[in-house]
Structure 1
């Protein structure tokens, strides 16, 4: 087991054109000014055509596209990948697993593959698993985070007239996308080193903040909400949980708060992210946040942040990431150092 993962390359994939708040309000009835003011997310990407409801991309296709970009960035081909880990809450099917569809699309065969079913923190768990796999005998891995949240949203023309505010807010918050990194046991050619991963369940006795249902043929006509979000609980709990993650990472590394160059906060919405950044109070750090332009695309977000960080971080510079999953409350995070 490796104590760290050297990042050789990063890649991302977002489906279709960006959908702004005016377009969203015209289609679903949410007020564009309210979205700007109270949510703070400006655009998002959906893997469907919101006018027709036709699917334009799959989870597997997005994940394969992001992975291919990361492999090209790392100058690594399919034959050099020793294992694949995918974190997602929205696989294309219960079976076959999406990670194996991705492997097939990339031309990768005869390697271990892992698919982790989780929300935002699944990206952290995927990196944790990757670090446990890295060794001199298995030196190169592909780690992917991807979600297609729109599959849980109703797109029929009169859907907004049937929705409660609690359901309508999901159209405002979420988006679709994928991100990936190529990790290595060796640091040759690496730009960044990731270490000190926190991946911890912390929801004992606490009601879920988010619940997503599976619908089979026996209950597909149910009027049950597919996606239920307790946004008030999330707003109340996530900033403190993020602060706990950052404080623990600083204690573990021995880093001084003022020595942090980049902060990658939890990506819930534009407004919530700004609130969390203020509470974390890492004044010296540049905020690496993408959610205002991509929407909350779950497991993709930490990888989108790492992709942006890769173009900014210099040798010896330090970055901290925190990710909180509200489904049953998971704290996640890690630190990154820039390499030469």
Structure 2
């Protein structure tokens, strides 16, 4: 995608340069180009920067990457991550500077002592847990866990020595790979993007649609970052300053269909909203379903919030609420 975003500029300039591309990109008005430019060079780059900040233990880079990516949690259906991000910010602000700096420096650890192999503690614990699981039976007892935990290092060394003796490698696979490699897939993807002029701002008759052309993107996607930042600010004010409930919260609609659905729900009566909720609750798990019983006494505003919460749960479970 990065190459395709730069391709229209490269073929249009005799002497392309980084500075020239950045200036050229900022002057483009095509909605799809600007959206993809934003997604790749801002949000995806923030993920890369965060990983680099973790691997090399660079606190300022991690902090900057998290701050840039933070509006995403307020843009779509990520209420838990949104709350975690803001709560973490609040806790850090309340700490003394020396304590805050100490936490930022020690929040990652290099088990190999190499300067480019730092890891988050959750990743380290996951690796240890994975190693322990390889040493216990499929249905372990508490005793099995205790033995494995107390002798993990010894068992791992013994296992490695045995594998070396018999010439076995855990990375070996029994069957050849059938899926194409990354290089082949990326080339196919680039061909498809270029053939469709998906991110070419100079192409004619361009529509604000997905790559397949079957979905038209919403007007809100044109102002995605602006709206996401506004939503984040609203959440921070409600959570930290005003100490009040946020009220009705809706994700930024991706497609026109989703945008129309949000608009139609805003004009629904209480009985209609309750009917939609009742049609969706059978698709929930037993625990979630029990939370949404006896809603007839709720206000219309509360029902709208509940409906959105149910949609978020179904989206997290990869269930299309419109098909239920």
* TM-score, L = length of structure 1: 0.26
Larger-Rg structure = 2
For CA contacts below 8 A with separation 6 or more, give which structure has more relative contact order: 1
Structure with greater strand percent = 1
Structure with greater helix percent = 2
* TM-score, L = length of structure 2: 0.27
